[in-house]
Amino acid sequence: MDALLLLIVCGGGFLLAYHTYGRFLARKIFNLTTGRKVPSNELADGIDYVSTRRGIIFGHHYTSIAGTGPIVGPAIGIIWGWLPALLWVVFGSIFLGAVHDFGSLVVSMRNEGKSLSEVAAKYINIRVRFIFFAIVFLTLLLVIAVFGVVIASVFTLFPSSVLAVWLQIPIAVALGWAVYKKNINVTGATIIAASAMYASIALGALLENIWPGLLLPREIAGIPPTGLWVIILLIYAWIASTLSVTTLLQPRDYINAWQLFIAMGLLVVGTITAAFTADLSFAAPAVNTAVPTDTPSLWPFMFVIIACGAISGFHSLVASGTSPKQIASEPDSLFVGYGSMLLEGFLAILVIIAIGAGVGMALEVDGTTLFGQSAWLSQYDSWIGARGLGDRLSPFIIGAANITETIGLPKAMGIAIMGVFIASFAGTTLDTAVRLQRYVVSELAADIKMPSLANRWTATTIAAGTAAALAFMQGADGTGAMILWPLFGTANQLLAALALLVVTIYLRTKPGCKYLVTAVPCLIMLVITNWAMVENQLNFIRERNWPLVIIGSGVFLLALWMTVETAILFFTKSQQKPKNITPGAQSELTETAQIQAPD
């Protein structure tokens, strides 16, 4: 019953926050209006700038920011107890993460849908543009290079997901064709596409049962399966990134969103059912003071590790990348930017319940069934953050399957559904990241007057090619980027702090103290992330891991440089005016039209 009560309180809290704090931000801070022009209409090109229905762009944005983050992060962070993790997810999502995502989206949308590095050049200075670019490029490079390995690992863990994930591509293309070319009713097309998607899951499970491992690749020409998957996935991401967003990106993300909505619905209904028909009390301690000796300290690492469940810098790249180029009307950005992060926070709450309570319902270990705290402790008897992806996902998969089994869903099918949606979301993150890197490269090429590098084919080749070089730098297995992956957590959260810094400077150009809504979260993230970065650097030095020491120190110094330059600008002028204002941006500063609040 504890789990059900928490689900109701947290879910209700997110809804209340959307209709109060979210609307306050929309009306009083960012002054959203239907009368202001948006990039999807002004710069429409049918490739990246495409005016899109609110529900469809929500699906794209949500699946792009989610990935495996809101699952893996809480799965690791709960080792310090479910209460600290839950409090950070709820309050972090409402006052930090959603503000970060929403602010990044609005600021980019009011600057031709450009990245935050370009916005930083406009509102701060040219030097900051290149600092921001370097940090963004490194972050995306790691995501692209590593997520191929992540997806390969998920395919190995859940072989039945392989067919379903790849069949989503023709299903998505068909959905996009039906909606955009034939004007078929979106609701009807969605039902057909979602049905086809779940049929593919059932077919994949059936094939895996008949021919285990049929769709998993074997070693070819000395390249092991992980390396082959990285090559295949990067080729796919290259193609997907150069196509119009309406051909594949939008419809695939949209049906993946519905896949997640259904999975979350199953977990909600399962939690309600289990609360009345089974023992769904928390097996995890509320606060765990007896963590394994190899576990890092709660402060500051829980706030970095949970990441996407509360706030993530990667979200600012999506919010200033693909999404602002598709928003059809300014008020839609509240639903897309603020609403998506709250829903991701709610997913993280479901993960905490599945792990904290669901695992304790039953766990098979070496032929013995464990229950309650014994079951939970068997999963967290050592620092789970140091284990492989399978060990990090296992508690959620087991707990979710236990919960959904109470509504009559066979455990094997529950595991298959969860496995497919994890693999699917990792895939959407990968192809979105390649497209985002393409935008970053194109913008930089335009800035340094090298137009030959700015076209989408060349820029995408650079994005995918650099990731491939990093992935295969240590051998044919494609796992080369894993040596730099320990930097990602702090670099990602540092990016969130810097994105909030840019949004704060943007709001500083407005009358009053509007900037406080982002300045306070920015300060919190700067303190926590820099603290974690210093702790990590000391560990890397003790381990004599010099590559991580050098690169990590470089990122830290670049971020410190950007922070100092921004702080000087912030405190030396009472109200900044951006440089090189375009006509569209100038109208934003002088516009006195009556503001219409979002629906």
545 burial type by CB count under 10 A (0-12 exposed, 13-18 middle, 19+ buried):
middle
Single out the residue of 527, 522, 533 nearest to residue 498, CA to CA. Answer: 522
Residue 150: domain span: 2-361+368-590
Q: Residue 504: pLDDT above 90?
A: yes
Q: What is the pLDDT of residue 369?
A: 85
Per-residue CA distances from 269 to 275, 422, 538 (Å): 10, 20, 46
- In this structure, is residue 598 part of a structural domain? no
DSSP string, 335-353: IIIIIHHHHHHHHHHHHHH
Rounded to whole angstroms, how far apart are CA atoms 73 and 88? 12
- In this structure, is residue 164 part of a structural domain? yes
Torsional sign, CA 314, 426, 234, 390? positive
- In this structure, is residue 596 part of a structural domain? no
Q: Domain of 429: which CATH number?
A: 1.10.4160
User: Are 584 and 112 in contact, with CB atoms under 8 Å apart?
Assistant: yes
Between 488-508 and 116-123, two packed helices, what is the crossing angle to 10 degrees?
40
**pLDDT, tens digit, for every residue of 279-315?**
888 999 999 988 898 899 999 999 999 988 999 999 9
- In this structure, is residue 108 part of a structural domain? yes
Q: What is the pLDDT of residue 583?
A: 41
Q: Encoding tokens for residue 18?
A: 């959307």
Q: What is the pLDDT of residue 586?
A: 40
**pLDDT, tens digit, for every residue of 351-386?**
999 999 999 898 888 778 888 889 999 999 889 887
Q: Which of 46-60, 210-224, 575-589 has the lowest mean pLDDT?
A: 575-589
Q: Residue 448: pLDDT above 60?
A: yes
Torsional sign, CA 24, 28, 33, 38? negative
Rounded to whole angstroms, how far apart are CA atoms 240 and 144? 13
For residue 573, what pLDDT band results from cuts at 50, 70 and 90? Answer: low
For residue 594, what pLDDT band results from cuts at 50, 70 and 90? Answer: very low
Q: What is the pLDDT of residue 50?
A: 93
What are the backbone dihedrals phi and psi of residue 327, each rounded to the nearest 5 degrees, phi first? -60, 125
Average pLDDT over residues 132-153: 87
Q: Residue 336: pLDDT above 90?
A: yes
Q: Which of 58-62, 352-356, 377-381, 594-598 has the lowest mean pLDDT?
A: 594-598
Per the structure, the count of domains in the chain is 1
- In this structure, is residue 513 part of a structural domain? yes
Average pLDDT over residues 568-587: 57
Q: What is the pLDDT of residue 577?
A: 55
3-state secondary structure 538-566: HHHHHCCCHHHHHHHHHHHHHHHHHHHHH
- In this structure, is residue 597 part of a structural domain? no
Q: What is the pLDDT of residue 579?
A: 58
Rounded to whole angstroms, how far apart are CA atoms 143 and 141? 6
Residue type, 326: Q
Q: What is the pLDDT of residue 392?
A: 87
3-state secondary structure 149-172: HHHHHHHHHCCCHHHHHHHHHHHH
**pLDDT, tens digit, for every residue of 82-139?**
999 999 999 999 999 999 999 999 999 999 999 998 898 888 888 888 888 888 998 8
Q: What does the buried/exposed string (b/e) look like for 209-244 if buried means 16 or more CB atoms within 10 Å of the residue's CB? A: eeeeeebebeeeeebbbbbbbbbebbebbbbbbbbe
Per-residue CA distances from 433 to 249, 463, 585 (Å): 11, 9, 27
Classify 370 as helix, strand or coil: strand
- In this structure, is residue 595 part of a structural domain? no
Rounded to whole angstroms, how far apart are CA atoms 318 and 337? 10
What contacts 24+ positions apart, CB below 8 Å, involve 395-400? 395/75, 395/354, 395/355, 395/359, 396/71, 396/75, 396/351, 396/354, 396/355, 398/358, 398/359, 398/363, 399/353, 399/354, 399/355, 399/356, 399/357, 399/358, 399/359, 399/361, 400/267, 400/270, 400/354, 400/358
Average pLDDT over residues 4-13: 94
DSSP bridge pairs for 363: 370
Average pLDDT over residues 397-419: 85
The mean pLDDT of the chain is 88
pTM of the complete model: 0.90
Look-up of token digits 């306050």 = 24
What are the backbone dihedrals phi and psi of residue 220, each rounded to the nearest 5 degrees, phi first? -130, 125
Q: What is the pLDDT of residue 84?
A: 96
Q: Which residue has the higher pLDDT, 583 or 340?
A: 340
- In this structure, is residue 270 part of a structural domain? yes
Give the CB-side neighbour count of residue 100, counting CA atoms within 13 A. Answer: 36
DSSP bridge pairs for 111: none
Q: What is the pLDDT of residue 598?
A: 39
Q: Which of 155-159, 194-198, 348-352 has the highest mean pLDDT?
A: 348-352
Q: What is the pLDDT of residue 582?
A: 43
Q: What is the pLDDT of residue 578?
A: 57
Average pLDDT over residues 553-565: 89
Q: What is the pLDDT of residue 451?
A: 84
Q: Which of 20-29, 229-238, 259-268 has the highest mean pLDDT?
A: 20-29
User: Are 202 and 117 in contact, with CB atoms under 8 Å apart?
Assistant: no
Q: What is the pLDDT of residue 125?
A: 85
